[in-house]
Amino acid sequence: MNTEKNIKTLIIKKPLKLDCGKTIKDFPIAYETYGSLNSKKDNAILVFHALTGDQFITGINPVTNKEGWWSYAVGPDKAIDTNKYFVICSNVIGGCMGSYGPSHKDPDQKIFGTNFPVITINDMVNAQYNLLDHFGIDKLFSITGGSMGGMQVLQFISNFPDKSKTVIPIATTSSHSAQNIAFNELGRQAITADSNWKDGNYTSNDTNPGKGLAVARMAAHITYLSKKGLQEKFGRKLQEREDLKFGFDADFQIESYLRYQGSVFVDRFDANSYLYITRAMDYFDLAKQFNGNLSEAFINTKAKFFIISFTSDWLYPTQENKDIVIALNSIGADVGFVEIESDKGHDSFLLDVPDFLNALKNFLDKSYEEN
């Protein structure tokens, strides 16, 4: 699945003890950077990607030849201005864009499949922390990310309280809800029910569980949109036909759209990685790591937080984002919060939502001026 060329990799020599108890070492982290690190090394922003993202944030992704997942937000003169900031993003461990994951080989040269250790959000950020040493950065200017990226942001600042000046979790949660877990389980069941999955031991692209993975993606995709957004875009419009066909072909545009989303996803994503990463999200419960008191997760940081949610996001709704604000306020932390009006659902953070992009830009640029 990976095209090795065009992927920058850092081999982490230092052993990393995972939450599951296993230890990994000499493992690769695939990363990409944008802009340049200034001489004071105070302009670095670490971006964390969401479930199906990768290190190629903006511009053309050299592996998929598609636009980077955060092209609206990151680039020259954009909200995260690469003329000004040095932006780093790496593929999470467990992923499938070059970082250590289930499609890699174990020490016996056998593809891991489901023998890859179960990883957590905590493991992901501990692995990515090595990038700071690699670039000789003592303190990041900012860390940010949406959705699972936001979870990594929260975990990172909890683990490394003095390693970032500003912290921007977007459309996220401090603890995966039952509904979140339920949707992820639906996706995993779709994959494992595909006869090509073979307990994770599929080996070539021809025999991978593409059908199952496509269904997983279709189900998840619905959760990223709002009812209003779907209705306005598709309604009951028919797909290249005058009338219903009284069959099970894609009569409706929404069906055709979802099928397309499923099929293109299969070309760029690994089914086992999907299992691993959704599991990591489900296991995420930052408050639980601190005996149920979320505030304790942030007690040692002096970072300036800015939390952003979206009105139509029902996957990680405003209240879950606000719970983080409340936890921070109760310890007197420096925290700002805004809920952006948008009918584009959870996906709002990836799309052209001017109020969001302006808020992000203003917060970053004003905070950087105060540096």
Partner 1 sequence: MKNEFQVIADLIEKDKKVLDVGCADGTLMKFLKDNKNINIRGLEISKEKVQECIGKGLTVIEGNAEKDLKQFPDKSFDYVVLSQTLQAFLNPELVLDELLRVGKKAIVTIPNFGYWKVRFHLLFKGTMPITKTLPDEWYNTPNLHMCTIKDFFYFVKSKDIKIFKSLALNNLNTSIINESNLGVKNLFADLGIFLIEK
Which active-site residues does the annotation give? 147, 313, 346
Shortest distance, position 371 Cβ to partner 1, whole Å: 11
Q: Please say which residue, 274 or 363, places its beta carbon nearer to partner 1.
A: 363
Tell me which stretch binds partner 1 (CB under 8 A): 17-25, 58-66, 183-191, 332-340: 332-340
Site string for partner 1, 1-20 (x = CB under 8 A): --------------------
d(CA 136, CA 16): 20
Q: Which helix (H) or strand (E) holds 126?
A: helix 121-128
The two beta strands, 304-310 and 334-340, are parallel
Return the number of the residue (120 or 144) whose C-beta is nearest partner 1: 144
Give the max Cα distance, the chain: 66
157 binds partner 1 (CB under 8 A): no
Q: How far is the CB of 70 from partner 1 (least distance, A)?
A: 20
Q: Which residue in 39, 35, 11 sits closest to 25, CA to CA?
A: 11
Q: Which is nearer to partner 1, 217 or 304 (CB)?
A: 304
Residues that bind partner 1 (rule: CB under 8 A) add up to a total of: 24
From 325, 350, 353, 357, residue interacting with partner 1 (rule: CB under 8 A): 325
Closer residue to partner 1 (CB): 250 or 333: 333
Type of residue found at 172 = T
CB-wise, 157 or 191, nearer to partner 1?
157
Strands (E) across the chain are located at 8-12, 16-17, 23-24, 27-34, 44-47, 74-75, 80-81, 86-90, 140-146, 164-170, 304-310, 334-340
Contact yes or no for 295/327 (Cβ under 8 A): yes
326: contact with partner 1 by CB under 8 A: yes
| d(C-alpha 9, C-alpha 53), whole Å | 17
Residues 101-140, mask of contacts with partner 1 (x by CB under 8 A): ----------------------------------------
The residue within the footprint of partner 1, chosen from 238, 264, 287, 338 (CB under 8 A), is 338
Number of neighbouring beta carbons within 10 Å of residue 156: 26
**Residue 284: other Cβ atoms inside 10 A:** 24
Comparing C-alpha atoms, which of 82, 27, 30 is closest to residue 55?
30
Return the residues of window 300-319 that contact partner 1 according to CB under 8 A.
304, 306
Minimum distance from residue 351 beta carbon to partner 1 (Å): 18
Binding site for partner 1 (CB under 8 A): 304, 306, 325-326, 329-330, 332, 334-341, 355, 358-359, 362-363, 366-367, 369-370
